[in-house]
Amino acid sequence: MIRVSILGTGNVAMHLRQLFLELKDVEVVQIVGRNTKILQSLEERTAITSNFEDILDADIFIIAVNDDAIAKVSQFLKDKKGLVVHTSGSVSMDTLSQCKRYGVFYPVQTFSKHRKVDFKSVPICVEAQDDRDVLLLETLANKVSDAVYQVNSKQRKALHLGAVFVNNFTNHLFHIGQQICEENELPTAILQPLIQETSAKITNLSPYDAQTGPARRGDFKTIEDHLEQLNGSEFQDVYATMSASIEKLYR
- Give residues 185-214 in contact with its own copies (rule: CB under 8 A): 185-187, 189-208, 210-214
Q: Which stretch binds its own copies (CB under 8 A): 46-54, 77-85, 93-101, 157-165?
A: 157-165
Nearer to its own copies, 137 or 159 (CB): 159
Alpha helix ranges (H) inside 22-97: 36-42, 70-74
User: Does the protein bind its own copies through residue 151 (CB under 8 A)?
Assistant: yes
What is the bridge-based pairing of β-strands 101-107 and 124-128? antiparallel
Assign 55 to helix, strand or coil.
Answer: coil
Q: How far is the CB of 241 from its own copies (least distance, A)?
A: 4
Q: Which stretch binds its own copies (CB under 8 A): 23-31, 42-50, 75-83, 113-121?
A: 113-121
**Helix (H) or strand (E) segment spanning residue 242:** helix 236-250
x/- contact string, 229-248, with its own copies (CB under 8 A)? Answer: xx---xx-xxx-xx-xxx-x
Q: CB of 98 within 8 A of CB of 77? A: no
Question: Which one among 130, 164, 218, 220 touches its own copies, defined by CB under 8 A?
Answer: 164
Question: Which one among 18, 25, 40, 158 touches its own copies, defined by CB under 8 A?
Answer: 158
**Helix (H) or strand (E) segment spanning residue 134:** helix 131-144
Q: Which residues of 181-208 are buried (b: 16+ CB within 10 A; e: fewer)?
A: eeeeeeeeeebeeeeeeeeeeeeeeeee
Q: How far is the CB of 80 from its own copies (least distance, A)?
A: 28
Nearer to its own copies, 57 or 224 (CB): 224
Cα–Cα dist 161/155, whole Å:
10
Q: Site residues for its own copies, window 48-107 (CB under 8 A)?
A: 67-68, 90
